[in-house]
Structure 1
Amino acid sequence: MKRLLSTVAACLLAATFTFAQEQTTSQDPKVLPMFGKTAKTEEQQLRDQKFLSSCDANFTTRKEASNFFMDRGWEYLNEGQTDTAMYRFNLAWLLNPDNSDTYWAFGLVTVAKGNPAEAVGYYEKALALNPKSSLLYSDLGTCYVSLYEQKPKKKTLKQASTYLEKAIATDATNAFAYFTMSKVNYFNCDYSQAWTYLHKGRELNMAAVDYSFLLQLSEKMPDPQGFFKNATTPDQSE
C-alpha cells in the first residue's frame, strides 16, 4: 500500500508540476475541456507521453489512472478550485477518452461558467458512453433549462422535458429530475403541474429544494398542498 501511494503521488506530482509551470489564465488550454481542442506542439505532445508513461508504470491500467484523476478533480471542484479541477479532468480524459465521467465533468463546469450551449455537446458524449445514467439525463435536461433562461425558445423547453422524462423513466427516485421538470412546467405557465413535480422532488430529497425558485413559483400560485406556507420554509407542523 505504501508503495502504491508513493508511486501514485509521484505521478500526481509530475502532473501538478507541469500545470504550475505552464498555467497562465483561465483561457489556458489546460483548464479548458479537452485541452481547448487545439493542436498541441511537439513539446506538449512529449510531455503528454511522459505523463502517460508515468501512469502506465504506476497504475494497473489507464482506466484505473483515469478514475484516479477524476476523483482528484471532483475534490478540487468541491473546494472551488475550478481550474485545477479542470486540469485533472483533462488528464483523466487523456488517459481514457472513453471515460464518460470526463465529458460529464466538462459539461458541469461549462454550464457553471455560463455556457450551456457548449455543455450540451459534452453531456451528449457522456450519454453516448453511458446511456443508462438517470443523473446524466437530468443534468442534460437542466442544461437545456439553463439554455432556455439565456434564450427562451419553446423547442428548448421541449428538449429539456424529453431528457427529464428519460431520467425519471430510468430512475423514478431521481429527485433532481423532478425539480427541473417543475421548472419546465413553470416556464410553460403550468403552475399546478410545477407544484406537483416540486413536491415529488422534495419527498425524495428535501435538502435539494431550490428556495429561490420556490419563491418564484409561490408568487405565481400558492402551494396547493399548503406544505410551503410562507414560501421560504416548509410547514413543520405536519
Structure 2
Amino acid sequence: MRFVFTAIFICISCVSFAQKMSYEEWIKEAQENIRLLPKYGNRPKSKGQLAADDQLIEQYTRQEGSRSSASELLIRIGFEYLNKGEIRIAMYRFNQAWLLDPENENVFWGWGAIYLTFNDTSKALEQYDEGLSKNPENPNILTGKATIFLNRYYDNRDETFLSSAISLYSKSYSIDSVNQNTSYKLSIAHFLAKDCVNALKFYNICVDLGGVPIQKEYTEELLRTCNE
C-alpha cells in the first residue's frame, strides 16, 4: 500500500472560492474601516455610529425575539456571504452579531474563518482560542482549530500537528456527529496518518450524511490508495 500526498490536500482549508481582495488590501482598508476588525478594533465610535448600533440592536431584537437569536441569525448570514466570496460583508455581519451578543462564541468561529480565508493561521487561532475560552465544547470552533493544525502539518509534516488535528476533530465529532465538514476532514486527517480503516470509516460517514464537502480528487486518491 502506498500513500501519495498530493496538492489536493491544500483544499482542507475552509475556502473554495476565489478571493475578491488580497490580504494586503484588507489590512490597508481596515486601518480606516473599523468594521473589518473583530469587535470593531475596540476603537471609540462617533455619536452617529453609536446611534446606528442602537438602531440595529433594536431592529434585530424585535425581529428575532432576542439579542442572542438575532446574533445567531447574523452569523448564519455572515457565513453565507463568506461562502460566496463576499468577505467584507461577511465581516460586517460577524461584527454585528458580536454587537448583539458579545458572549456568543460562534462570533469567534466567524472571525477565525475570515482570517483562515486569508491563510493568516495565527490570527485565526487567536479567534478560535478566545471562542473556546467561552465554550470549550463548541464543535464548529474545534473543527476550525483542527483545520489550522492540519494545514500546518501539510506544510511541514510535523506529526505533532497531525496528532493535534485528529484529537480536535475527534472531540468535535463526539459533540456533533452530523457535521459533514468534520467527518470529511477527519477522514483526510486519518488518511494523512496512513490509517485507511478510519479514513474510509469517516469518508463513508460523510457520504451517508450527504457528502457535500467531498472532492472528487480526494475520493479517487483515497480509494486508489486504501484499496491496494
| 1:189 corresponds to | 194
Matching residue's letter, 1:33: P
Aligned equivalents of 2:117 and 2:80: distance in 1? 16
Structure 2 residue 227 is matched with structure 1 residue 223:
yes
- 1:206 match: secondary structure: coil
- Tell me: CA distance 1:147–1:54, structure 2 relative to 1, closer, same or farther (3 Å): same
Q: CA RMSD in A?
A: 2.7
| 2:174 corresponds to | 169
The answer to whether the Cα contact below 8 Å between 2:180 and 2:206 also exists between their aligned partners in 1 is yes
The structure with higher relative contact order (CA 8 Å, sep 6+) is 2
- 1:125 match: secondary structure: helix
| 1:98 corresponds to | 103
The answer to whether the Cα contact below 8 Å between 1:98 and 1:129 also exists between their aligned partners in 2 is yes
- Tell me: CA distance 1:54–1:213, structure 2 relative to 1, closer, same or farther (3 Å): same
The answer to whether the Cα contact below 8 Å between 1:202 and 1:208 also exists between their aligned partners in 2 is no
1:45 Cα deviation after fit:
4.5
Matching residue's letter, 2:54: S
Q: What are the equivalent positions in structure 2 for 1:1-238 lying under 5 Å apart?
A: 25-27=25-27, 28-29=29-30, 30-35=35-40, 37=41, 40=43, 44-58=45-59, 59-60=61-62, 62-63=67-68, 65-219=70-224, 221-223=225-227
Aligned equivalents of 2:58 and 2:178: distance in 1? 41
- 2:26 match: secondary structure: coil
The answer to whether the Cα contact below 8 Å between 2:57 and 2:100 also exists between their aligned partners in 1 is no
Matching residue's letter, 1:223: N
Q: Bigger shift: 143-152 or 162-171?
A: 143-152
Aligned equivalents of 2:192 and 2:164: distance in 1? 13
- Tell me: CA distance 1:96–1:193, structure 2 relative to 1, closer, same or farther (3 Å): closer
Aligned equivalents of 1:116 and 1:126: distance in 2? 15
Unaligned 5+ residue runs, structure 2? 1-24
- 1:83 match: secondary structure: helix
| 2:15 corresponds to | none
- Matched residues, number: 195
Q: Bigger shift: 161-170 or 52-61?
A: 52-61
Which string of whole-angstrom CA distances, capped at 9 and with x for unpartnered residues, describes residues 160-185 of structure 1?
A: 11111111222333333222122222
1:143 Cα deviation after fit:
2.7
Which TM-score applies when normalising by structure 1? 0.68
Aligned equivalents of 2:38 and 2:89: distance in 1? 12
Which TM-score applies when normalising by structure 2? 0.70
- Tell me: CA distance 1:198–1:69, structure 2 relative to 1, closer, same or farther (3 Å): closer
Unaligned 5+ residue runs, structure 1? 1-24, 225-238
The answer to whether the Cα contact below 8 Å between 2:196 and 2:226 also exists between their aligned partners in 1 is no
- Tell me: CA distance 1:150–1:222, structure 2 relative to 1, closer, same or farther (3 Å): closer
Aligned equivalents of 1:56 and 1:201: distance in 2? 38
